[in-house]
Amino acid sequence: MKRVAVLGSTGSIGTSTLEVIASHPDKLQLVGVAARSRADILVRQLDQFRPKLVAMWEEEKARELQRLTGRRPILVGMEGLIQLATHPDVDIVVVATSGRDALIPLVQAIQAGKQIALASKELLVMAGELIMRLAREHGVSLVPIDSEHAALFQCLQGIPKDRVSRLVITGSGGPFWGVPPSQRHAATRAQVLSHPKWQMGPKITVDSATLMNKGLEVIEARWLFDVPVERIQIVIHPEAVVHGLIELVDGSVLAQMSPCDMRLPIQYALSFPERWESRLPRLSLTQLSALHFLAPDLEQFPCLRLALDAAAAAGSACVVLNGANDAAVQGYLQDEVPFAEIPRVIAETLEQHTPILHPTLDEVLAVDAWSRTVAETLLRKPSCHVV
Ligand code: MG
């Protein structure tokens, strides 16, 4: 029996993770859950799974949860997340929080020797070099949940690293692929938030509409698989059937295909190194339409270019990219900035930064905080409000 703690249990990946756990009661046990503020969903999860450990990021929400359930203790804030992620009763930590809050809990979970299933790509974008070095030092397996990286991870099993010539990450192109700029700039919130293939949380859905998500995924893959950025290719694949491909030195290409359902990569990350049966939807090859693969358009999607430039620069540029993007997307979601201004806020923040090549954890956190402050100031600049 593997004992699982889920950081971010009420989000999109978190709730899917709990479904996977419920479908394997003989193999998986939920021993801990942590959420930011959704006490209502957490009440139902506690009722269904009765985990031993509960953590809530916001103190007021922790008190509300206590009122609703009579449960105590409820772990609170950063200290609570760390206690949950390093608890002796936990074998696997699923990191599925949005944003950066789980960075220190992740680092400490690795240092405590926990197996990691990682959905939060931002943490690898910010501190991938450091996280992967720690994972190697502590002999910890870190399995990605992000669908493209889960695909690459599966294709790479049993392949010596020096036999791989290229990694290919696919992306559906989001809601605005092939849409003229004028229509894209006038898009409503509903259009930005309606992804053609995946049901996800609001932050990653906006990142998918700007294609920043693919850029973040290149940086994520660079650290996860220790492959230089120039050997990672992005391909737009609107049907979203092939999630990732690897090309070997002899020219052979291996791909992973499956329906768009995050429960598959989640289950694989939890079962690794085994592979378990599932009742998930199957791919019907004879019902597939034609599959298309297209080069991404960096002119139409400036966020992708910014991400690839930061990826090439590496170091703290990626921290700034991530922090400024997060601030700009939150600004957009709160109506502080139009959709078309997101790349400008990120670009101007990057311009003000003096890069550090191999930042320490403290430097990562400091640069992250700095980039958010700068980006938030830029969001309020009147020039940003001109569409
Ligand atoms: Mg992905």
pLDDT in tens, 306-354: 999 999 998 999 999 999 999 999 999 998 989 999 999 999 999 999 9
Average pLDDT over residues 356-382: 94
* Residue 114 CA neighbour count, 13 Å, CB half: 30
Q: Is residue 220 part of a domain?
A: no
Using the predicted structure, report yes or no on whether residue 93 has a pLDDT greater than 50: yes
Residue count of the chain = 387
Report how far ligand 1's centroid is from the alpha carbon of 47 (Å).
31
Closest CA to 241 of 259, 254, 255: 259
Report how far ligand 1's centroid is from the alpha carbon of 215 (Å).
10
Q: Is residue 200 part of a domain?
A: no
Report how far ligand 1's centroid is from the alpha carbon of 301 (Å).
17
Report how far ligand 1's centroid is from the alpha carbon of 61 (Å).
30
| pLDDT, the chain, mean | 94
Give the integer Cα–Cα distance in Å for 297 and 354: 28
Average pLDDT over residues 68-97: 96
Q: Is residue 23 part of a domain?
A: yes
Report how far ligand 1's centroid is from the alpha carbon of 121 (Å).
9
Report how far ligand 1's centroid is from the alpha carbon of 86 (Å).
27
Report how far ligand 1's centroid is from the alpha carbon of 79 (Å).
29
* Residue pair 346/375 in contact by the 8 Å Cβ criterion: yes
Q: 10-13 long-range contacts, Cβ below 8 Å, gap at least 24?
A: 10/35, 10/36, 10/38, 10/41, 10/42, 10/45, 11/35, 11/96, 11/97, 11/98, 11/201, 12/199, 12/200, 12/201, 12/262, 13/94, 13/96, 13/119, 13/145, 13/262, 13/266
Report how far ligand 1's centroid is from the alpha carbon of 204 (Å).
9
Q: Is residue 184 part of a domain?
A: no
Query: What pLDDT is attached to residue 192?
Result: 85
Report how far ligand 1's centroid is from the alpha carbon of 244 (Å).
10
Q: Domain containing 22: what range?
A: 2-140
Report how far ligand 1's centroid is from the alpha carbon of 81 (Å).
24
Query: pLDDT (tens digit, 9 = 90+) per residue, 65-81?
Result: 999 999 889 999 999 99
Give the integer Cα–Cα distance in Å for 371 and 150: 30
Report how far ligand 1's centroid is from the alpha carbon of 380 (Å).
30
Query: What pLDDT is attached to residue 386?
Result: 45
- Angle made by CA atoms 370, 57, 362, in degrees to the nearest 5: 35
Percent of the chain with pLDDT over 90: 84
Report how far ligand 1's centroid is from the alpha carbon of 309 (Å).
19
Report how far ligand 1's centroid is from the alpha carbon of 217 (Å).
7
Report how far ligand 1's centroid is from the alpha carbon of 346 (Å).
21
Report how far ligand 1's centroid is from the alpha carbon of 147 (Å).
5
Query: What pLDDT is attached to residue 191?
Result: 83
Is residue 260 packed enough to be buried (19+ CB in 10 Å), middle (13-18) or exposed (0-12)? middle
Report how far ligand 1's centroid is from the alpha carbon of 145 (Å).
8
Report how far ligand 1's centroid is from the alpha carbon of 37 (Å).
25
Query: What pLDDT is attached to residue 99?
Result: 79
How many domains, the chain?
1
CATH number of the domain to which 75 belongs: 3.40.50.720
DSSP 8-state class, residue 256: E
Query: What pLDDT is attached to residue 151?
Result: 98
Average pLDDT over residues 250-256: 98
Q: Is residue 56 part of a domain?
A: yes
Average pLDDT over residues 236-256: 97
Report how far ligand 1's centroid is from the alpha carbon of 171 (Å).
8
Query: pLDDT (tens digit, 9 = 90+) per residue, 147-173?
Result: 999 999 999 999 999 999 999 999 998
Is residue 315 packed enough to be buried (19+ CB in 10 Å), middle (13-18) or exposed (0-12)? middle
Q: Is residue 296 part of a domain?
A: no
Report how far ligand 1's centroid is from the alpha carbon of 366 (Å).
27
Query: What pLDDT is attached to residue 383?
Result: 61
Residues with CB under 5 A from ligand 1 (ion): 146-148
Q: Is residue 362 part of a domain?
A: no
Query: pLDDT (tens digit, 9 = 90+) per residue, 215-226?
Result: 999 999 999 999
Query: pLDDT (tens digit, 9 = 90+) per residue, 107-130?
Result: 999 999 999 999 999 999 999 999
* Residue pair 26/103 in contact by the 8 Å Cβ criterion: no
Report how far ligand 1's centroid is from the alpha carbon of 213 (Å).
7
**pLDDT grade for 382, boundaries at 50, 70 and 90:** low
Report how far ligand 1's centroid is from the alpha carbon of 295 (Å).
17
Hey, is 160 helix, strand or coil? coil
